[in-house]
Amino acid sequence: MSLPKLLLATKNQAKVQEYLLLLQGVPFELTTPAAEGIETAVRETGETLEENATIKALAYASGSNLLALADDSGLEVVALNGEPGALSARYAGADASDEERIEYLLRRLEGIPWERRAARFRCVIAIASPEGEVELCQGECQGIISFEPRGENGFGYDPIFYLPQRGKTMAQLSTEEKNEVSHRGLAAKRARQILLRLGRNK
């Protein structure tokens, strides 16, 4: 018997690979917009991570007629009053690369000492049905913004997000370590519980 499909509503291949690991064993066949021939372009017009995740999940669910999972993640830096937050992906401009975003953030923090560089990563996952029902869950991870990028494993702001308890940046962790402690890993554990329940109800 074939499993119902769950659409991972992202075109970010690094994120797809993370979710394929994080959601192993859920009672759904994980698929992507590329695999389904879906070219939906969704504008993230929300002011919060919750709003953006919901907008994306609903758009992909209604456009594909599949259950859809979308997330929005943000880096919140205490010394910058919570910036970049929901603007994390567009902080240095809509078309900026990860390196340019990191460079821009480090410039904003120039002169800020180590003890005032506290930050957290937050991830909100929305799971939406084609009928418009949405369930949300989230995870967060505390850290410190380092003075320079370190590590190759990861994307976004991972190379400057230092985890004191591990003595490494997020980008220096192995995939297994990252999935244990990351904001997305923690949110995905909660999403897994929702998906197990939805799968039982199919």
Section 171-198 average pLDDT: 93
Residues in the chain, overall count? 202
Phi and psi (nearest 5°) for 145? Answer: -80, 120
Rounded to an integer, what distance in angstroms lies between the CA atom of residue 53 and that of residue 150? 29
Section 125-131 average pLDDT: 97
Whether 159 has a pLDDT exceeding 90, the answer reads yes
Section 102-119 average pLDDT: 97
Least confident of 99-103, 145-149, 152-156, 183-187: 152-156
Q: What is the mean pLDDT of the chain?
A: 93
The pLDDT-based confidence of 43 (bands split at 50, 70, 90) is confident
The pLDDT-based confidence of 1 (bands split at 50, 70, 90) is low
Does 72 qualify as catalytic in the annotation?
Answer: yes
Q: What is the pTM of this model?
A: 0.89
pLDDT attached to residue 130: 95
- The beta-strand segments (E) located in the chain are 5-8, 29-31, 67-77, 118-128, 134-145, 161-163, 168-169
Whether 83 has a pLDDT exceeding 90, the answer reads yes
Question: Residue 28 is encoded by which pair of tokens?
Answer: 């759904």
pLDDT attached to residue 2: 84
pLDDT attached to residue 47: 87
Which pairs with CB-CB distance under 8 Å and at least 24 residues apart come from 41-44?
42/9, 44/72, 44/86, 44/89
Rounded to an integer, what distance in angstroms lies between the CA atom of residue 152 and that of residue 64? 34
Whether 202 has a pLDDT exceeding 70, the answer reads no
Whether 59 has a pLDDT exceeding 90, the answer reads yes
pLDDT attached to residue 40: 78
Domain assignments of the chain as residue spans, ordered by start: 5-200
Tens-place pLDDT, residues 181-191: 999 999 999 99
Q: 5-200: what CATH class?
A: alpha beta
Q: Which of 72, 95, 98, 158 is catalytic?
A: 72
